[in-house]
Amino acid sequence: MVDSFRHKGMRKKLVDELASKGINDARVLGAINSIPRHQFLDTAFVNFAYQDKAFPIGAGQTISHPYTVAFQSQLLQIKPYEKVLEVGTGSGYQAAVLTLLETDVYTIERQRELFKDTKEFLPKLGYNCRFVYGDGYKGLPQFAPFDKIIITCGAPFIPNDLVDQLKVGGRMVAPIGKRDIQVMHLIEKLSATETRITTHGEFSFVPMLNDKNSGNLKV
């Protein structure tokens, strides 16, 4: 699908809207301005791709609001060359943003069809990640520790396994809640045994699914 001047103009308007809502990280805004979000959506939604809305992507999942993607990315305070774990690959849009922030991205997806489709699709657009099919609650201990961890689905609690895989000095951003509305949590790992947790407003995510697999399977 072509990335036209019209699409680029709509992206610029979206970036201006996100800036007006408080997103001020120039690198995050630059990434969103570069990524052709319309190519991540079903053709039925292409004309709405640069509205600040979520859309279905199949398997009961959604592509998040651009503001949500930007907010989580900004809250992580990502630095170039950091190793980042994403829980919930979905469409791959958030992973693309992380890639443009010059990070080494590991991303886990629990829905096999989404995993297969996104693993094939993202590299075609030039966004290269380490794709894993598996249980996000368990993380990827074989690749830990991570500088940053981002959960892109609503978790009922903060997964201890993920906190264990966070580097001391690292940050994890996670929407936590058991219902349709979650509260965004920032978990900062101060030492091997101490964390600081702050909350950053309400958001709405699809639920983080529990384990149907025997473990993390790299495919």
Catalytic residues: 64
CA 194 – CA 198 distance, rounded (Å): 14
> What's the N-to-C CA distance of the chain in angstroms?
27
- Measured over the CA atoms of residue 160, residue 164, residue 165 and residue 171, the dihedral's sign is positive
Note every long-range contact of 155-162, with CB atoms under 8 Å and residues 24 or more positions apart, other chains counting.
155/182, 155/208, 156/207, 156/208, 158/185, 158/187, 158/197, 161/137, 162/85, 162/87, 162/137
Residue 149 contacts residue 136 (beta carbons within 8 Å): no
Residue 212 contacts residue 110 (beta carbons within 8 Å): yes
